[in-house]
Amino acid sequence: MKLLNILLSALLFSGSALTASAADNIAVKPAETNVPGNEYPKVDTSGRVHFRVHAPESKSIGVDICGKKYDMSKDDAGFWSVVTDSLAPGFHYYFLIADNVRVNDPASYTYFGCCRMASGIEVPEGPEGDYYRPQQVPHGQVRSCTYYSESTGKYRRCMVYTPAEYETSGDKRYPVLYLQHGMGEDETGWSTQGYMQHIMDNLIADGRCVPMLVVMDSGDVQAPFIPRKGKDVNEERALYGSSFYDVIMKDLIPMVDSTFRTVDDRQSRAMAGLSWGGFQTFNTTLNNLDKFSYIGGFSGAIFGLDVKTCYNGVFADASKFNKDVNYMFLGCGTEENMGTEALVNSLRGLGIEVDYYVSQGTAHEWLTWRRCLKEFVPHLFKSDK
């Protein structure tokens, strides 16, 4: 029967079927990002990932994870395996490299990142990671919303987090955080790789942040940035994801404010983004301070700013900026260099008030951004200047 054949094939060719090995350490557990039924990849208590893949006819198999490539070795049964170095906790994209082609691991869930559907693995933290795990608290929802974008002439999907109380709070209206992903990612990133709904649920339940909506749309940067030949690279970069600016200002914000019970004013609207989304946040908020009063950049791809003149000189009058903007946050990890500290110093040199957060031991990766979100949102919508 065709159905059974499909399932049998899926089983035969699965990357790492369930097998028992007496040599396995009890502290080595299947990753929580594994597709059910797959024992590998496993993670041990040192944060090392144990990969095991069945590919008897391949000439070479490797793993590309956290910026390093590992060659795998094959046993007589056609299983390739390798154990990585200790990796930082949190979420990592990775690929198998089969005969020099980057493919997904059939044993792991895939996530939109690296400009494609990419394998992902969660290396568990200890209890310090409980803030992004579901707890016995009231749970909000992440709503997938279809809407028509006049500015692009296409239907789009955005994701909207609503806090648990939204269902039963009658006519109460809520402030809104617009939250962007990075280059090569999309509107799903924050709720799948980022666990933003659990972070928000837990912070709201603890009374650390006010209930708010969080809107996540695509920054229109799913495809790689490829400057056209003969064009100026800076001009090309300005075009990359540029459709997003009309989308958010002309289509998305009006749709959100007409669909949800929001407070439609600048005191109740924030925006933050990671990496390229941090750049898009600067471009959006600093050109529209009549619409936004809270700003966050998480490992923002904000390079080469002349802070005295950029965005029509918005930073030149620090006292006005500090009065207009209720809160600005810039964060990054210790293991990356996006120039965040230099930007903070430049801004502070002008008298601009900006909080600077550094995530210890993390690079340009989702744990940095989960932590940034946790640090950022408690400051939102608590003070009008």
Indicate which single residue of 7, 239, 342, 350 sits in contact with its own copies (rule: CB under 8 A): 7
59 binds its own copies per the rule CB under 8 A: yes
58 binds its own copies per the rule CB under 8 A: yes
**Partners of residue 123 on adjacent β-strands:** 90
Indicate which single residue of 43, 142, 328, 347 sits in contact with its own copies (rule: CB under 8 A): 142
64 binds its own copies per the rule CB under 8 A: yes
- The 3-state secondary structure of the chain reads CHHHHHHHHHHHCCCCECCCCCCCCCCCEECCCECCCECCCEECCCCEEEEEEECCCCCCEEEEECCEEEECEECCCCEEEEEEEECCCEEEEEEEEECCEEECCCCECEEEECCEEEEEEEECCCHHHHHHCCCCCCCCEEEEEEEEECCCCEEEEEEEEECHHHHHCCCCCECEEEEECCCCCCCCHHHHCCCHHHHHHHHHHCCCCCCCEEEECCCCCCCCCCCCCCCCHHHHHHHCCCHHHHHHHHHHHHHHHHHCCECCCHHHEEEEEECHHHHHHHHHHCCCCCCCCEEEEECCCCCCCCCCCHHHHCCCCHHHHHHHCCEEEEEEECCCCCCHHHHHHHHHHCCCCCEEEEECCCCCCHHHHHHHHHHHHHHCCCCCC
197 binds its own copies per the rule CB under 8 A: yes
Q: In the complex with its own copies, which residue's Cβ is closer, 9 or 25?
A: 9
Amino acid, single-letter form, for residue 115 = C
306 binds its own copies per the rule CB under 8 A: no
Q: Scanning the structure block, which residue is given the tokens 């950029």?
A: 310
Indicate which single residue of 149, 191, 285, 293 sits in contact with its own copies (rule: CB under 8 A): 191
By rule CB under 8 A, what string of x and - marks binding of each residue 90-129 to its own copies? Answer: --------xxxxxxx-xxxxx-x-xxxx------------
201 binds its own copies per the rule CB under 8 A: yes
Per CB under 8 A, contacts with its own copies among 351-380 are: 363-364
Indicate which single residue of 29, 143, 237, 250 sits in contact with its own copies (rule: CB under 8 A): 143
Per CB under 8 A, contacts with its own copies among 318-337 are: 336-337
223 binds its own copies per the rule CB under 8 A: yes
Contact segment (CB under 8 A) with its own copies among 52-60, 122-130, 244-252, 266-274 equals 52-60
Contact segment (CB under 8 A) with its own copies among 51-59, 231-239, 240-248, 346-354 equals 51-59
- Extract the tokens encoding 27: 């502290």
CB of residue 185 to its own copies, shortest distance in Å:
11
Q: In the complex with its own copies, which residue's Cβ is closer, 198 or 266?
A: 198
Question: Measured between alpha carbons, how far is 140 from 323 in angstroms, rounded to an integer?
Answer: 33
Question: Measured between alpha carbons, how far is 206 from 311 in angstroms, rounded to an integer?
Answer: 37
147 binds its own copies per the rule CB under 8 A: yes
Question: Measured between alpha carbons, how far is 114 from 225 in angstroms, rounded to an integer?
Answer: 11
141 binds its own copies per the rule CB under 8 A: yes
342 binds its own copies per the rule CB under 8 A: no
Per CB under 8 A, contacts with its own copies among 162-181 are: 167
CB of residue 241 to its own copies, shortest distance in Å:
11
Q: In the complex with its own copies, which residue's Cβ is closer, 36 or 126?
A: 36
Per CB under 8 A, contacts with its own copies among 235-294 are: 259-260, 275
Q: In the complex with its own copies, which residue's Cβ is closer, 89 or 333?
A: 333
Per CB under 8 A, contacts with its own copies among 30-49 are: 35-37
- Extract the tokens encoding 284: 């959006």
CB of residue 95 to its own copies, shortest distance in Å:
8
Q: In the complex with its own copies, which residue's Cβ is closer, 197 or 281?
A: 197
77 binds its own copies per the rule CB under 8 A: no
